[in-house]
Amino acid sequence: MDAALLLNVEGIKKTILHWGTGELPNFITGARVTFHFRTLKCDDERTVIDDSKQVGHPMHIIIGNMFKLEVWEILLTSMRFSEVAEFWCDTIHTGVYPILSRSLRQMAEGKDPTEWHVHTCGLANMFAYHTLGYEDLDELQKEPQPLIFVIELLQVEAPSEYQRETWNLSKDEKMQAVPILHGEGNRLFKLGRYEEASTKYQEAIVCLRNLQVKEKPWEVQWLKLEKMINTLILNYCQCLLKKEEYYEVLAHTSDILRHHPGIAKAYYVRARAHAEVWNEAEAKADLEKVLELEPSMRKVVRRELSLLENRLEEKREEERLRCRNMLR
């Protein structure tokens, strides 16, 4: 089969290796496309750079979602189901491939929990590194070159046919999702399903963080989102307290208070974590700060102080008994 210019797009040539079936799928905005890919150099050996089949997972992208390597959307939307095609792409289309490849390799190595769903978040930060951590990718980064992509189209799903991840939602959809996720987290917490509740809070936080990065720090909209994020983080910390992950609670609450030292609930949650790891002075200092900021919480603070004293007395009694037994 002859190679031909693809859809009159400069710098792309397509060769069909295995004909697909049916008509072209409906690649509407928001559709999820699943495919296998192999990336090769244009050298005599056709050196393989990446191969999704070797990793054992197909690739997914969302149409219209500003995927890192935009040319892949052009390539995929020319394909039919089960088609296998080889695409030669000039340097103008492959410049960011080393960055994409680095992300995919790290995910495959278990260094990123997001599986093989790659989007533009953090792309600019990649340029701050002197090395991508892989010698072959550093070479491609320094000397961009044409690449060959062999792609097999596996599946195309409309937005209604799959569960969309929070990072994949539009701005309006994210804002609409946050109160739903927040409410679902609260419901699960009341039912004692703390692991599931913490997941809902985390999803809501991701939505808001993705919106916040597009705002100017410390301006009105940024601060509004920050307040919502802090509320969710503190709810998440309540789940962590139930799961006895006290040091993680200390880390999250301390981070909030470094930037926002006037949040009484953050001191309260941190005080409870301090108490659980026997940091008596720190717990009492945080509870005093709660009273200073929110005098209406006096009854709650007194209860926590009483619980702390009781636990400390029990611990001291255990120490006394241990010492007596050692002397005997």
Predicted confidence band at 126 (pLDDT cuts at 50, 70, 90)? very low
Greater pLDDT, 109 or 77:
77
272-297: average pLDDT: 94
Q: pLDDT per residue over 195-206, tens digit each? A: 999 999 998 998
Render 3-67 in DSSP notation, one character per residue. -EESTT-TTEEEEEEE--BSSPP---TT-EEEEEEEEEESSTT--EEEEHHHHT--EEEETTS--
Higher pLDDT, 147 or 142: 147
283-308 average pLDDT score: 94
**pTM to 2 decimal places:** 0.54
Decide if pLDDT at 46 tops 90: yes
Q: Please state the rounded mean pLDDT for residues 20-28.
A: 93
Q: Are 118 and 100 in contact (CB under 8 A)?
A: yes
CB neighbours of residue 85 within 10 Å: 23
For the chain, the domains span 5-157, 171-304
Give strand pairing partners of 81.
Answer: 21
Per the prediction, the chain carries an average pLDDT of 86
Q: What is the pLDDT of residues 310-321, one digit of tens each?
A: 888 887 777 778
Superfamily of domain 171-304: Tetratricopeptide repeat domain (1.25.40.10)
Q: How far apart are CA 285 and CA 25, in angstroms?
A: 63
Task: Say if domain 5-157 classifies as CATH 3.10.50.40.
Answer: yes
Whether 128 has a pLDDT exceeding 50, the answer reads: no
Confidence of residue 1 (pLDDT cuts 50, 70, 90): very low
Three-state secondary structure call for residue 107? helix
Res 311: pLDDT: 84
Domain pair 5-157 / 171-304, same fold:
no
DSSP annotation of 151 reads E
Q: Which residue has the higher pLDDT, 3 or 211?
A: 211
Q: In the structure, what pLDDT confidence band is assigned to residue 129 with cuts at 50, 70 and 90?
A: very low
Write out the DSSP string of 154-220: EEEE-GGGSPPPGGGS-HHHHHHHHHHHHHHHHHHHHTT-HHHHHHHHHHHHHHHHHHHTTS-TTSH
Average pLDDT over residues 117-145: 66
- What percent of the chain lies above the pLDDT cut of 70? 88
In this structure, how many other beta carbons lie within 10 angstroms of the beta carbon of residue 9?
15
Q: Which region among 17-21, 38-42, 163-167, 209-213 has the lowest average model confidence (pLDDT)?
A: 163-167
CA quadruple 76, 82, 87, 91: dihedral positive or negative? positive
Give the least confident one: 115-124, 153-162, 250-259: 115-124
What sections of 191-294 are H helices per DSSP?
Answer: 194-212, 220-242, 246-259, 264-276, 280-293
